[in-house]
Amino acid sequence: MNTTVCDLTSKQCKPCEGGISPLSSAEATAFMQQIEGWQLQDKQISKTYTFKNYYQTMAFVNAVAWISHREDHHPDMLVGYNQCAVTYTTHAIGGLSENDFICAAKIDKLFAI
């Protein structure tokens, strides 16, 4: 496993109530190097995960919900029979924060299990 991803997965999200600037384009691009398969588009990152069936999809959704609750940072998810699209942005600042990349890395680690 890539050690930079491991570094992100060992971090905890910091509360964000606004009042800080979103990551710059260069900062976001640097974080993108630490997660695989995610797409950066207009102040958000997203990735679609595919599964064999609905049961596996829902198990993944519930695991993402658990991570989101634990980190207090919640994605938008679009769920279908055998896929789940996950999108992160930090709404309080109108763009990306390190929290988005921490959660993305944690979900990738979960999916790899």
**If the chain, 113 residues long, is cut into consecutive pieces of 10 residues, what is the mean pLDDT of each piece?**
60 76 94 96 95 97 96 96 97 94 94 75
CATH number of the domain within which 83 lies: 3.30.1360.20
Give the chain's domain count: 1
Q: What is the pLDDT of residue 8?
A: 86
Nearest to 108 by CA among 58, 71, 63: 63
- pLDDT value of position 3: 44
pLDDT at 93: 94
Give SS3 for 43: coil
64 CB-near residues (< 8 Å, 6+ apart)? 75, 77, 84, 86, 107, 110
pLDDT at 1: 40
In-domain check, residue 16: no
> Residue 113's pLDDT is what?
66
pLDDT for 9? 79
Is the residue at 33 inside a domain?
A: yes
Range of the domain at 90: 3-11+22-112
Task: Please report the pLDDT score of residue 10 as a whole number.
Answer: 75
**Predicted TM-score (pTM) of this structure:** 0.88
What are the φ and ψ backbone dihedral angles of 15, each rounded to 5 degrees?
Answer: -55, 140
